[in-house]
Amino acid sequence: MSLRTLANHCGLSINAISRIERGENSPTVLSLHRLATALEVPINALFREEAIEKAIFVKQNEGLRHQMEGMVMESLGSGLSQQELEPFLITIEPGSRLDENPVTHHGEEFVYCVEGEIEYCVADRVHLMSAGDSLIFKASQPHYWNNPTQNRARVILVFQASQAQHLLRHHTSEQ
């Protein structure tokens, strides 16, 4: 797929995609979702190598990592044949927020707060999460997080990978 075609499908500029591809820019979570949707792959495909396995073992602090402003997104396992879950450990620095462009995508999303506190907003409802709290929701609702505290927060985020995601995209207004 050409950069121009990809840009048209995901709503990002050709320049932005090119800079991400060359490692000159770290994409936001929203950009990762848009790219994965346009490429018709689950988001974890952007984190994994090509090997397809039947069991994946990831040692602590050895998952593939993606650094973004104010946060680190670490894959907790990817590469299973026909994988349906996309687990990540997200470390969110104090004051970081992902609320300028709320995210929407197909499937479901599960959030478990491991450490600290965050505000996780789903469809205009704010959920104040502390260590041990969990949240599950239909990911087609606009959602984002915010760490309004002076301490870092860590959450486990599990996306439902959708094999039919590309088919659904053609029947909705989401791009």
Decide if 31 is inside a domain.
no
Portion of the chain with pLDDT greater than 70, in percent = 85
Element (H, E) at 8: helix 3-10
The reported pLDDT for the residue numbered 41 is: 75
Structural domain boundaries enclosing 88 = 52-169
- Residue 40, pLDDT score: 77
pLDDT in tens, 139-151: 999 999 999 999 9
The band of 161, judged by pLDDT with boundaries at 50, 70 and 90, is: low
CA distance 170 to 98: 26
Residue 27 belongs to some domain of the structure: no
Model confidence at 172: pLDDT above 60: no
If one counts the domains in the chain, the total is 1
Is 150 domain-assigned?
A: yes
List, for residues 13-48, the tens digit of each pLDDT value. Answer: 888 888 887 777 777 777 887 888 888 777 766 765
**What pLDDT is recorded for position 90?**
93
pLDDT tens track for 84-112: 888 999 999 999 887 667 888 888 999 99
Is residue 124 domain-resident?
A: yes
Considering the entire predicted model, what is its pTM? 0.66
Contact 16, 23 (CB under 8 A): no
Assess if residue 45 is contained within a domain. no
What stretches of 40-142 show up as alpha helix (H) in DSSP?
none
Give Cβ neighbours of residue 8 (< 8 Å, ≥ 6 apart).
none
- With respect to residue 28, please indicate whether it lies within any of the assigned structural domains: no
Residue 9 falls inside a structural domain: no
Mean per-residue pLDDT over the chain, rounded: 81
51 contacts 77 by C-beta, under 8 angstroms: no
Q: Is residue 29 part of a domain?
A: no
CATH number of the domain enclosing 150: 2.60.120.10
